[in-house]
Structure 1
């Protein structure tokens, strides 16, 4: 805040002289020399890029063991700083701890690629990702403070799960011996990241890093909703292959079971209104998953199921006073309604009349969505 703005407030009678002086004293004590920081940052960036360029130009000439030793030393050094100075750093600047934790985890992830390059080895990607999660997820969970580390944890888990599916099946659902148990295992693994939601809900009320756990819970909830929404869209296009649909039920049931356990876990771990609504959304996502398979190749019922899911999310957001989530849900329902009109009127769209009708319908849906969002959206944004 500039001193001129504070002076203008005083001149306009918005603050008295004592408040003006306190604001000026506070701003002076907490002033940040942005120009100096920018110059220092440019200098540090130039030095860093120069070091990277020198190493890259001589990469093949540096012995592999030396490179790995330096890589490990960097990780060990950052872990040492976090171990000995984490409390002091968090007191002075929580973002410095966040940056150190994130960079340490990133160095740990790149180490496996570096190791494979030095020893000319390869393995399915899910294996180094699983090892990285086992080694570094505890660090991220114990010291993470905001959304970058929360995203690293959940994103790494989701990435590992889907890489495992790719390695096992190559996304080829051709029936094979013991296919039922395979589908059940894959369904369980792909849904497993949702279990971060009850963990985060449990730790959220008992930790000084409530923002981190809140973000992790939100990301796990978003993953559950995305899975259920994708299942509805998949069913609308007949994505569930008839030849393997019976076996696929085992995988769908496993996904649904994990989501239900996670949802009820959130309900019991966080008894507040916000916690109950978050748990209800995850439970609803778990219920929608098996229903989506029952409407395979039926565009209208699949679309209605999709909109019912998001209508439930809108209702939960309305109860919990999540203004942004409510508006998002209304927008998603409107978009799905527009897509459904194209799906059902594919023949009409080949004519000019059909295009005109669709354009009018799109404008009408958009207008209704805006009106609903403005009229019924919560007046304030409560913490999710």
Structure 2
């Protein structure tokens, strides 16, 4: 705590002398020797890099089975430590638990690559990642503390489902060659990350690890919004025929988003839960409408902005200041892009360049004024 701030608060009458004294005493008792910890960290990093260098220099000389045994032993030791000390760490040092979980998860992920190197095996990447999710996903869900493990879990799920989609091949986008069952399966798999939103929403009010579950809910919500936005952008470029861009796949994705929205609104009654549920439902409806408007540059552009207008309205309802400002910025940017798309010859003359510059300034000015005037107060926790 800055001594200058304490003195300023005391001078302004926000705190009295006794409160300032108690604050100083508390800060002194809980202060951390950052210089000492930095020196310890640098020393530990140097030792770790030295060990890695020694092992790397003699990597080929170590038998593969021995390397795998050491790797497995390291994971078993760290897992045993978490089993014995996990509860105490969660209570007293949650970030240490988070760091240990992250390291164990990365070691587990690297173990599959290690097996492939030793035994010269190969497979689509989604297969070992799916196995990792089956083995380590429950551990992260049961012990994850904050955004770090939530992001690792979500990122792995995201890469797994889309690598599975890519492995299915170009038939997914060919209306004539697309296998109906394959398309339905891939559409379902790629929509599954949206269900993290209701899972996180349900657990936020029923767990002490609210930060972890909040991040999972937000990531699932962001995935739904990002996917719907991308679909509208593609719809402005080409007409959706069949396959993964067909009406069946879009309806399947949209239906899952609608179900996820209903579940979030049910799991978290209140303005924030209602807003999150409406955003998810809106993303689902947009996926369906994108098929109907595909091939229309203006229609797809308007649909994109309608989605983000809905997000801005939901943010006003819930008091999400940052989300509201983001929505206004995205709408302004899309409006500028749409203007150039509909008047592609705007930049072919000096007068056109002047008009384009004025248009950009006008839209930016309006976006800033709207953001400042109508944005709700900054929320503490939603």
Partner of 2:95: 95
Task: Give the deviation of 1:63 after TM superposition.
Answer: 1.0
Partner of 1:143: 143
Matched residues, number? 382
User: Which of 117-126 and 353-362 deviates more?
Assistant: 353-362
Is this contact kept in 2: 1:200–1:213, CA < 8 A?
Answer: yes
Task: Give the deviation of 1:171 after TM superposition.
Answer: 7.6
User: Which of 175-184 and 363-372 deviates more?
Assistant: 175-184
Deviations 1:32-67 (A, max 9, x none): 101111111111111111111111111111111111
Deviations 1:56-81 (A, max 9, x none): 11111111111111111111111111
Deviations 1:277-298 (A, max 9, x none): 1011001100100111111121
Deviations 1:188-235 (A, max 9, x none): 111011111111111111101111111100000000000000000000
From 356, 359, 369, the counterpart of 1:358 = 356
For 2:171 and 2:69, the matched residues in 1 are separated by 38
For 1:246 and 1:146, the matched residues in 2 are separated by 34
For 1:110 and 1:211, the matched residues in 2 are separated by 27
Is this contact kept in 2: 1:322–1:383, CA < 8 A?
Answer: no
**The residue matched to 2:88 in structure 1 has which SS?**
helix
Task: Give the deviation of 1:380 after TM superposition.
Answer: 2.6
For 1:31 and 1:171, the matched residues in 2 are separated by 61
CA 1:11/1:198 → structure 2, altered by over 3 Å: closer, same or farther? closer
Is this contact kept in 2: 1:256–1:290, CA < 8 A?
Answer: yes
Partner of 2:231: 231
**The residue matched to 2:168 in structure 1 has which SS?**
helix
Partner of 2:300: 302
Is this contact kept in 1: 2:346–2:356, CA < 8 A?
Answer: no
Is this contact kept in 2: 1:184–1:251, CA < 8 A?
Answer: yes
Partner of 2:126: 126
Deviations 1:89-117 (A, max 9, x none): 12221100111111111111111111100
Q: Tell me if 1:28 matches 2:28.
A: yes
Is this contact kept in 1: 2:316–2:324, CA < 8 A?
Answer: yes
Q: Tell me if 1:259 matches 2:257.
A: yes
Is this contact kept in 1: 2:180–2:243, CA < 8 A?
Answer: no
Unmatched 5+ residue regions in structure 1?
A: none
For 1:73 and 1:181, the matched residues in 2 are separated by 43
Partner of 1:278: 276
When the two structures are superposed, what TM-score results if normalisation uses the length of structure 1?
Answer: 0.95
Partner of 2:192: 192
CA RMSD of aligned residues (A): 1.8
Is this contact kept in 2: 1:236–1:300, CA < 8 A?
Answer: yes
For 1:266 and 1:27, the matched residues in 2 are separated by 40
CA 1:239/1:70 → structure 2, altered by over 3 Å: closer, same or farther? farther
Partner of 1:37: 37
Query: Equivalences for 1:1-384 in 2 at 5 Å?
Result: 1-3=1-3, 5-6=5-6, 9-10=9-10, 15-170=15-170, 173-175=173-175, 179-238=179-238, 240=240, 242=241, 244=242, 248-384=246-382
Task: Give the deviation of 1:307 after TM superposition.
Answer: 0.4
CA 1:108/1:373 → structure 2, altered by over 3 Å: closer, same or farther? same
User: Which of 177-186 and 188-197 deviates more?
Assistant: 177-186
**The residue matched to 1:347 in structure 2 has which SS?**
helix
